Amino acid sequence: MAIRIDGKLVSAYLREQIKKNVTALKEKTGVTPGLAVMLVGDDPASAVYVRNKHRACDEVGMYSEVITMPADTTEDALLVRLADLNNDPKIHGILVQLPLPKHISEEKVIAAIDPRKDVDAFHESNVGKIMLGSYDFLPCTPAGVMELLHYYDIPIQGKDCVVVGRSNIVGKPQALLLLGENGTVTICHSRTKDLATKTREADILVVAIGRPNFITADMVKPGAVVIDVGINRLPDGKLCGDVDFEAVEPIAGAITPVPGGVGPMTITVLLKNALKAAQKSLK
């Protein structure tokens, strides 16, 4: 039976360290790290994520603001609000919750975030730095996956790593981070032929394709480390990942559950990035 990789446990451990560093920064400099989260429209899943981010900031002693704007907000109005946050000295990190309503260009909005406050690491200058192997911020979800691998002492160097999914938020940066630690990386996606042949090669399989129970037992090599980034809501309201957990757990070497695996790590890295942004703002 696989080791169950516990994202709640690792998050609690890391958030305790972040909290200590927030306290130290406040005592030394009087500065409280501040995060602004913008939520446009009324997507219920996004509202839950934003609430969790707000609460997490509180728990580590950070200041946070949630800015909610209606679904019919214009792009210009959003950009004006964003410019205010770029200039607000209380705010060190800015996160615009995605997806945005269709009439607003995500590209334009992300480009308008001050890269020094871009705690998602979505701005082209931050993406470019990651590509080149140096960085200020790492994107929250893929960096959270790396933290899990490190905490559980899972070796990456020389391992066959297969990433299923090629989004800008997870798949592409995940591949770069694994490559940065000397993994041999294959990126697969919805058009990949013989997908199961490729996933079965993986020593480390990271799945972020957004389809419930997409990875079945026959697609996993016995003993592989399986990291499930998916969060899908089934018709009965239950959450499930992209991996068929029940079927894969008996053959994997280690596996993340959903919920309680990668999910909590995303917010933990966000807190880490907001702290770093505050520390860097003083330099």
C-alpha 202/C-alpha 78 separation (Å) is 42
Q: What is the DSSP letter of 245?
A: H
DSSP string computed for 206-242: EE-S--TT-B-GGGS-TT-EEEE---EE-TTS-EE-S
Annotated catalytic residue within 6, 53, 159, 198: 53
Minimum CB–partner distance for residue 120 and ligand GUN (Å): 5
Q: Does 219 bind ligand GUN (CB under 6 A)?
A: no
Q: Which single residue brings its beta carbon nearest to ligand GUN?
A: 98
Strand 3-4 relative to strand 254-255: parallel, antiparallel, unpaired?
parallel
Interface with ligand GUN (CB under 6 A), residue total 9
Does the annotation mark 17 as catalytic? no
Please report, as residue ranges, which positions from 106 to 165 form the binding site for ligand GUN (by CB under 6 A): 120, 140-141
Q: Which two tokens stand for residue 127?
A: 């993406």
Minimum CB–partner distance for residue 38 and ligand GUN (Å): 9
C-alpha 140/C-alpha 98 separation (Å) is 13
Does the annotation mark 228 as catalytic? no
Q: Does 169 bind ligand GUN (CB under 6 A)?
A: yes
| CB-based contacts of 106-111 (< 8 A; 24+ apart in sequence) | 108/75, 108/79, 109/75, 109/78, 109/79, 109/82
Minimum CB–partner distance for residue 142 and ligand GUN (Å): 9
Annotated catalytic residue within 6, 118, 120, 203: 120
Minimum CB–partner distance for residue 275 and ligand GUN (Å): 17
Does the annotation mark 160 as catalytic? no
Please report, as residue ranges, which positions from 60 to 99 form the binding site for ligand GUN (by CB under 6 A): 95-98
Active site residues per annotation: 53, 97, 120
Given the rule CB under 6 A, which residues bind ligand GUN? 95-98, 120, 140-141, 169, 266
